[in-house]
Structure 1
Amino acid sequence: MSSTETSAPRRRLSREDRLRQLLDVAWQLVREEGTEALTLGRVAEMAGVTKPVVYDHFITRAGLLAALYKDFDERQNALMDAALEASEASLEGRAWVIASAYVDCVLLQGREIPGVIAALTGAPELETLKREYEMIFLAKCRDVLAPFAASGDITLASLRAMLGAAEALSHAAASGEISPGDAQEELLETIKAMVNRRRSGEIKINP
């Protein structure tokens, strides 16, 4: 290298941009090597940064898993909110938004999100976090669908059943077991059936 050649200075990322980089690297690691390979040290190695940089953002592996789930949840909510705003104010329109947005979001993360969810379930504090995000999602679905419910509201048990179907169908689509379209259509029919069912003594969830 001649004396006139200089190397370009490396741009220092903002904290927000660095977090986004580390999350993207972590998703890539889970996709390529599985959730068991996910460690803060491995993320640092793949991102080309020192371990303290990664520890500063997540502190522990549990913190990294929580951040990944939050990232997934925020994407899911953003997709659904935008679609709801543009959708027809009918049961068919609202139910289709929930069904399509849920499946689409899981497909965006490919096969990574089931592993992250499984890891979350394995630790009590992370299971609590997962349930908190689930309750927010279920409350949103209840608010959107309740105006069309035959009984005037939707039970928590029904919403939990809907979520179970959503997870199973979207993960089956992500693995290639069924097509995304079939997953969305089946989830749509499940949601409509739930809303149209008449029940007594319903248990409500707080917004």
Structure 2
Amino acid sequence: MAGPISSDAKPRRRLSRQDRHEQLVRVAWRLVREEGTEALSLGRLAELADVAKPVVYDHFGTRAGLLAVLYREFDARQTALMDAALLDSEPTLASKALVIASSYVDCVLLQGREIAGVIAALAGSPELEGIKRDYRTSFIEKCRRVLAPFSGKAGIPAAGLWAMLGAADAVSEAAAMGDISAGQARDELYETILALIARSQRRTG
């Protein structure tokens, strides 16, 4: 039986549907952080949030639905963080590359180790794997647009962008696990982006 973790034990009050949804998502993230993704179930979430099970089922439907919501929230946070930083950045390759590297790593670190568990759980469902792939494709296209002004005439190869994303995932996870520092993760990803653009400038077709 799972050990107790802190709960939102407060006098009950009727929340709006949106407020209740946000509360359940917060509790779900804490559950993943403190007990692991394996412990995440709608029943356990209802227990920790101090609500009836039908309330949780009404919001998420299934465990897969809950996982999808958590991943989409992470996606939205990462996108907002990067978009805001890109707007404030200088129109130089160094500035844009630094924003991409820092935003990606920082968002993973902000969410902590729990996002790795959610991402791993997504692989168990074709539907959820599709959600993850859609986000990754969108991220790659955004990077292509941001970096296009600095690339060679032939553009940035798709394989290079996917390799960049793989590096981003690897160094961010390593930083979240404490295997490398956040600064090392950002620096390595930054250098990877610069190398990608340098290679594109040497392409002839």
**TM-score, structure 1 normalization:** 0.90
1:16 match: 18
Q: CA deviation at 1:11?
A: 3.0
* Counterpart residue number, 2:156: 154
Task: Answer with 1 or 2: which has the greater Rg.
Answer: 1
Counterpart CA distance in 1 for 2:175 and 2:194 is 20
Percent pairwise identity = 67
Q: Is the 8 A contact 2:27 2:45 kept in 1?
A: yes
Which of 47, 50, 53 is residue 51 of structure 1 equivalent to?
53
- Specify whether residues 91 and 13 from structure 1 end up closer, same or farther in structure 2 by C-alpha distance, changes over 3 A only: same
For the aligned residue pairs, the C-alpha RMSD in angstroms reads 1.4
Aligned to 1:163: 165
Paired residue total = 194
- Paired with 1:148 and 1:168, the residues of 2 have a C-alpha distance of 25
Identify the residue that residue 110 of structure 2 maps to in structure 1.
108
| TM-score normalised by structure 2 residue count | 0.91
Q: 1:30·1:112 contact (CA, 8 Å) conserved in 2? A: yes
Structure 1 unaligned segments of length 5 or more: list them. 1-7, 202-207
Q: CA deviation at 1:15?
A: 1.4
Q: 1:120 to 1:200 in 2, by over 3 A?
A: farther
The structure 2 residue matched to 1:141, chosen from 132, 140, 143, is 143
Partner Cα distance (2:17, 2:198) in 1:
47
1:3 equivalent in structure 2: none
Q: Aligned equivalents of 1:104 and 1:125: distance in 2?
A: 27
Superposed displacement of residue 46, structure 1: 0.6
Which sections of structure 2, spanning at least 5 residues, go unmatched? 1-9
**Conserved 8 A contact 2:154-2:204:** no
Q: Which residue of 1 aligns with 2:179?
A: 177
Contact persistence 1:146–1:152 (CA under 8 A): no
Q: Do the aligned residues in 2 keep the contact of 1:147 with 1:153 (CA within 8 Å)?
A: no
Q: Give the superposition deviation at 1:200.
A: 5.0
Contact 1:151–1:197 at 8 Å: present in 2 too?
A: no
In 1, Cα distance between equivalents of 2:94 and 2:114: 30
Question: Is the deviation greater in 142-151 or in 58-67?
Answer: 142-151
Deviating 4+ runs (over 6 angstroms): none
Q: CA deviation at 1:88?
A: 0.7
